[in-house]
Structure 1
Amino acid sequence: MMWMTGKRTDMEMEADLRAMRRYARALSRDHVAADDVVQDAVMRAIERRDQFQPDRSRRRWLLAIVHNVFISAKRREAAETRRNLAFAQIQVDHADPDQEVRADLMQVARAFADLPDHQRAVMHLTVVEGLSYQESADLLGIAVGTVMSRLARARATLRQDRDRQPRDRLRIVGGQDE
């Protein structure tokens, strides 16, 4: 088996992969995330192997790809967080409740935005759009049981998040009780 241009041995390939994985772990501090970064980096290296300059260090080139994949993922996560917060704010802005209800709505909207994509999609289709389980399953190309399972997990997550919120958030300070 040859590595990239056909001039590397299996041992060199393994050494490059170990270095890539070490660097990805140092960046992400999570072995699962590091494996994802390395996998994406290897795919990117293969796709762009024609950009490699043979007179330069292959390991440095691969580590640069690992770095760029990691940074791109962090930027995507930050953008998703901003979109989720903006989405939550838009949901609340369309309502005109009093301050306490508004705060509750904001928490629910944030929790909804934080759901995994597959759960959020099912919940939106069934709860917000009013589609049946079967219609949602057909639209998403999944089984009805999967729709029901995802919806149950989404509801449980929202319920759990709601239960963690303190009930008495407001406190009267100063003055006297009558």
Structure 2
Amino acid sequence: MLKKGAVFVQTGDKFDNNYVKNHLQEVSNILSQNEGFSVSVIEDKNASFGLNMSKDFSGASIVDGQITVTAGKATLGNPIDQTVSSNGNASNTAHEFAHAAGVPHIFDENSKVTNTPDNINNMMNSNENDIPNMRSSGGTEVKQGQTDTMINTINASQSRLNSLEEQKKQ
């Protein structure tokens, strides 16, 4: 199943067009690891889904007395009309896009992936993991169950996307 995702990219002065093109290709490759899901993320100034890479981080929190920087942000389960933020790292952008497509962190109770050392390099792990020796960000591994969640969320959102596209034409 090939899914083409259009995204409006905001970079400020941080990245040039060539970087953005390569970045989106790298994100596509990370998300397309598993059978049945091939993603092509392209830049489109008219897209309802946005990516903001103009900031180095989107926030910070304290976890077990340590400051943890949040490198991106996305609303879980909304692959249509939001702007996610990312620090410009492809694994972080893929992580945030997966959140938008309904995939939680591996340490969330609704995760289909266990929060064990076998999954420390999973794309949906982060430095906010509540198990100190499991804290890791930058992983790029994607399990089939996570891919299935993305497919199901995107398919369930298709009618809303079609409606937005029709409104743009009017």
* TM-score > 0.5 by shorter chain: no
Of structures 1 and 2, the one scoring higher in RCO (CA 8 A, sep 6+) is: 2
TM-score, scaled to structure 2:
0.30
The structure carrying a bigger strand percent of its residues is 2
